[in-house]
Amino acid sequence: MEPQRRPGGRSARVREAVLDATAAELAEHGYPGLTVEAVAQRAGVHKTTVYRRWRGPEGLVADALDRASEQSWPIPDTGSLRGDLRALTELLRTGFTDPESGSVATAFVAAGMQHPDAAAALRAFYAARHREAAVLVERAVARGELAPVPDPVEIIRFALAPVFHRLFVTHEPVTAADARRAADAAVTVATAARD
Amino acid sequence: MEPQRRPGGRSARVREAVLDATAAELAEHGYPGLTVEAVAQRAGVHKTTVYRRWRGPEGLVADALDRASEQSWPIPDTGSLRGDLRALTELLRTGFTDPESGSVATAFVAAGMQHPDAAAALRAFYAARHREAAVLVERAVARGELAPVPDPVEIIRFALAPVFHRLFVTHEPVTAADARRAADAAVTVATAARD
């Protein structure tokens, strides 16, 4: 029996290879060093294939972020809002400071500051992530741990923002205690909020 | 009588001209487009002068941030912590979204993601700004409006972080209501904190 053809077939395999190569190149050289030639060579495809489908580095980054949007964040389920938000901010912290995954994730954020297409892709990416993570707040409300809050996504933003602020604006170190404090502050805000 | 020579004299005037030119070039072309040649030409100095003293774009950005550190943020004094923090986050929001000042400020933040020297300069810049702004929290404590908090700077970070997060990570719009909500959340955290 023939192996069933996946949706997209060869085209989908080319996309996987090209976007994997994009991530690897970003990790090594950052956004300013991302070239279609290097991505094509690493992916083992002709550079005209890459130019035709992705146009340039900004198209590659935008599609790599689109692909990342299709994957989910692991959403913690510790039984309490505090535990869940602490797990979430710690995942964010370690994700960006991990020597392997961190440089790709950092390159995505940097790309957003350098090209409007990447910024638009990041906006869609984080909107999807925030909606997913808002379930932590909704679960706490459903458990009766928390009164209904007007905007669950805003609680997620408050938890994550201080970690991102240290990483990408003030360039301060981010310790596990910093990540925990950000989560705890968001719990305080959620508890004080009234629908 | 001879006019008194200011400290640095010609050297200080050259620095002013070169750093003004750096800011103007950053506003027009961003960090990736910043060149010693263009800065020297705009400042009306020879490019070897710029190379000798600042070495390259990263040295120019670091010194421009050093100069910015010497100037103070306007620190609001509205009579209440909520009023002060709301004024502070609104200043931040409008400072980055203003068509004139915003592009230079944005270019500084972007530079921090692209070069370690710029990142170190931003870290020192924001450390100075946070210390200055922490006086808002200390004044609220002195007025008896707020119980002493363990770390006044952390309250400033909580107020500013959600604005920066929207501006430079998620690339969402930042409305006056968003800035106000960030300030109010920081007040909630400050009120709940116990020394």
| Residue in A closest to B170 by C-alpha | A123
Q: State yes or no: pLDDT of B128 exceeds 80.
A: yes
Least reliable range by pLDDT among A53-57, A120-124, B88-92, B99-103 = B99-103
Q: Distance (Å, rounded) from C-alpha B9 to C-alpha B125?
A: 25
How many residue contacts between A and B have a Cβ separation below 8 Å?
98
- Alpha-carbon distance of A133 to A176, in angstroms, equals 20
Is it the case that residue B5 has pLDDT exceeding 60? no
Chain B CB contacts of A133 under 8 Å are none
State how far Cα A93 lies from the chain centre: 12
**What's the length of chain B?**
195
Q: Do the Cβ atoms of B89 and B177 come closer than 8 Å?
A: no
Cα–Cα separations (whole angstroms), residue A169 to A143, B55, B72, B118, B121: 36, 24, 18, 11, 11
Distance CA B146, CA B134 (A): 13
Q: How confident is the model at residue B47 (pLDDT cuts 50, 70, 90)?
A: very high
Cβ atoms B129, B143 nearer than 8 A: no
Query: Average pLDDT for consecutive 10-residue bins of chain A (195 residues)?
Result: 57 94 90 91 96 92 86 88 98 89 87 87 92 96 95 97 97 97 97 77
Angstrom CA distances, B98 to A36, B92, B101, B156, B167, stand at: 35, 10, 6, 22, 13
Taken in order of first residue, the domains within chain A and their CATH numbers are: 9-69 (1.10.10.60), 81-192 (1.10.357.10)
* Angle (nearest 5°) at CA B89 between A189 and B128: 105
Report the C-alpha gap between B83 and B66 in whole angstroms: 29
The mean pLDDT value for B71-92 works out to: 93
Q: Do A171 and B112 touch (CB under 8 A)?
A: yes
Q: What is the pLDDT of residues B169-195, one digit of tens each?
A: 999 999 999 999 999 999 999 999 765
ipTM for the complex shown: 0.89
Whole-angstrom distance, CA of residue A54 vs CA of residue A39? 11
* Cα Rg, chain B, nearest whole Å: 19
- Residue B61, pLDDT above cutoff 50: yes
Residue-wise DSSP of A60-96: HHHHHHHHHHHSPPP----SSHHHHHHHHHHHHHHHH
Whole-structure pTM value? 0.90
The reported pLDDT for the residue numbered B1 is: 43
**Predicted confidence (pLDDT) at residue B8 exceeds the cutoff of 70:** no
Residues of chain B whose C-beta is under 8 A from some C-beta in A?
Answer: 30, 32, 106, 109-110, 112-114, 119-120, 122-123, 126-127, 130, 154, 157-158, 160-162, 164-166, 168-172, 181, 185, 188-189, 192
DSSP state of A45: S
Contact between B114 and A32 using a beta-carbon 8 Å cutoff: yes
Q: What pLDDT does B4 receive?
A: 47
pLDDT score, position B194: 66
